[in-house]
Every structure is written in structure tokens, then in C-alpha cells.
Structure 1
Amino acid sequence: MDNSKNQNPCLVAAYVQGACSGGQFTVDPLAVNTHYVGPYVDEANVCECNTVTYSLVSACAICQNRTYIAWSSWSTNCSTVYTGYPETIPGGTAIPQWAYQDVTVRFFLPSYSLLLSRCQCILVD
């Protein structure tokens, strides 16, 4: 599930979310029995309220053997939602094609076993 630059979904998710915060964003590892939540009302922005970021963060959770939430839950605090990634892709990364799937009508649907076999998510503090 790495991108063309051999970056895992967690790192790519940090890049795309960081595009709205001066390039700084950390995707922390998940504790057991937890999942990533969507953006908080006061922090919701174009870099988080889009289907690509949701797919990347969901894949990041799966790489850690954790669960993920539905798009409708992720985007609940977003005043505007975007299909695709509406910002310029940050330099230094690339968004993998699978992250562009339409999650607005169904869950993010990776081939779970294939995804796990290809995940090498190493989260750096």
C-alpha cells in the first residue's frame, strides 16, 4: 500500500493533512481498541475534509491492525466535504491511486489481506 515513493499510508496522510498547517502534522500510532476520528469542528479544514485523506487515514489504521470509521462519521464536523484531494499535493510525497476511490457511497474497501501483506507502517514520533 506504499506510494510510488515507498511511503506508507500513515506518512502520506501526515503530508496531506499538513498542507493546511504549514507542512506540520503528525499521525500518531493508535492504541489498542481505538480508531482515528475525523476532524474536530474547530479544526476542520480542506486538508482533512476530503475523501483522499479519509482513505489514507483508514489505511493507516488497517496497517496497525486497528479499525476505521465510516466516511459519514469522519466528515460529520466538516462544513464542506470534497471528493478527491482539493489542495496541491505537497512536495515530497505522492498520493496512491487507491486513495481516490469513492467512499461517499460505501466504506473504504481495501482488500484486507492484501493490504496487511503490503503494509509496513512505521510511525515515527
Structure 2
Amino acid sequence: MTIVAPHLSPSWWTSLSVTILILNFLAPSEAQNTNVTCGPDWDWAQNSKGQNPCLVAAYLMEMCYYPTSPTGDASTQNECVCSTPVYQLMSACGACQGRLFVGWQEWKFYCPSYGFGAGQFPKAVPVGTAVQYWAQIDPAIWGDNFNADRAKAIGGIVLWFTPEIA
């Protein structure tokens, strides 16, 4: 089942920004932690280290130092948040808690082009985490939305991203 909330109000972005900031500051930068939990029917979404998509997203967003969701304010955009893996992970994070999430087109609306392709992450994956293969899938392939059924079919396979862009 895919839950999509198209055309959400700007207050949704504010709520997401606060959630992301909380995820980022729950623990010291070398060891992310979160109290966000996914139900047992979302065990498939964990990575090879047993980390849920919320925690993996926090690790990735920390790589750009100022994690937030893409908004109309140019000062809040960064290449980590605007990447498809962060979109997929944050969508799974919302879905695994029974929350709504936006489609890829709405997520990236305020993101400038950072010069990396769909499915890529602009930095090296941080030590202490691994990124699930389904999070590296271009959302356009799934109809421009996170698709829990398709991600679950892929499961916890882990691949490595393209290293940091020069």
C-alpha cells in the first residue's frame, strides 16, 4: 500500500523540518540515534545493520550539516536532502509510522540541480550505516512516489553509493 499526500500545505514542510532537526540532534554526530520506531511489519525496511529508514536518513542528512526538507527558502536547500535516497528513506520513515508523505515531484520542487543523478547520494555514505538498495531507486520508476510494496519486494539488499562527487 502506498500512501501519498499530494499538494500538502507549507506547514507540512515546517513539521518535516522540525522532525529532521530533532532526528539530527538526538545524538552526537559520530553515532546517530533516534527513538523513532517502525512497526514489526516494516522489518524488511531495515538495513544490514538493523537500522530503520528514519535512522539511515538521519545519518545521510548529517553529511550536509544542516538537515531540513526542501522549502521555498534557498538557504534551507542542500544536496543531501534533495537526493532521491533521502526522499525514499524519509518517505519510508513516515509510512512506517502510519504517516503521510509527499511525492518526489513535490519533495524536489524547490531543489536546484546539484549535478548528480537520481539514485545517487552526493557524499560518501557515513561510517556506521548502510543504505538499502530500494532507497537508491529513482522514484520516477515507481510513478514519482515512494512505493512500499515495491521496496519490500527488494527488501534489505544493500549496495554502495557512487562516492563523493569531485
Q: Which runs of 4+ in 1 moved over 6 A?
A: none
Q: Between Structure 1 and Structure 2, how many residues are aligned?
A: 102
Question: Does 2:111 match 1:111?
Answer: no
Shift of 1:86: 1.9
Query: What does 1:1-125 correspond to in 2, within 5 Å?
Result: 1-21=45-65, 38-40=69-71, 41-80=74-113, 82=116, 83=118, 84-105=120-141, 106=143, 107-111=145-149
Amino acid at match of 2:131: I
Asked if the contact 1:38/1:73 (under 8 Å) is kept, the reply is no
Secondary structure at the counterpart of residue 122 of structure 2: coil
Q: Which has the larger radius of gyration?
A: 2
Q: Matches of 1:8 and 1:15 in 2, distance apart? A: 11
* Offset, 1:104: 2.9
What residue identity is the alignment partner of 2:77?
Answer: A
Measured against aligned partners, the alpha-carbon deviations of 1:25-81 in whole angstroms (never above 9, x if no partner) come to 5xxxxxxxxxxx942232111111110000000000001101110111101111115
* Deviation readout 1:101-121 (Å, 9 max, x if unpaired): 111352111118x59xxxxxx
Alignment RMSD: 2.4
Higher relative contact order (CA 8 A, sep 6+): 1
Instruction: Classify the secondary structure of the residue corresponding to 1:13.
Output: helix
Unaligned runs of 5+ in 2: 1-44, 154-166
Tell me which protein shows more helix as a share of its residues.
2
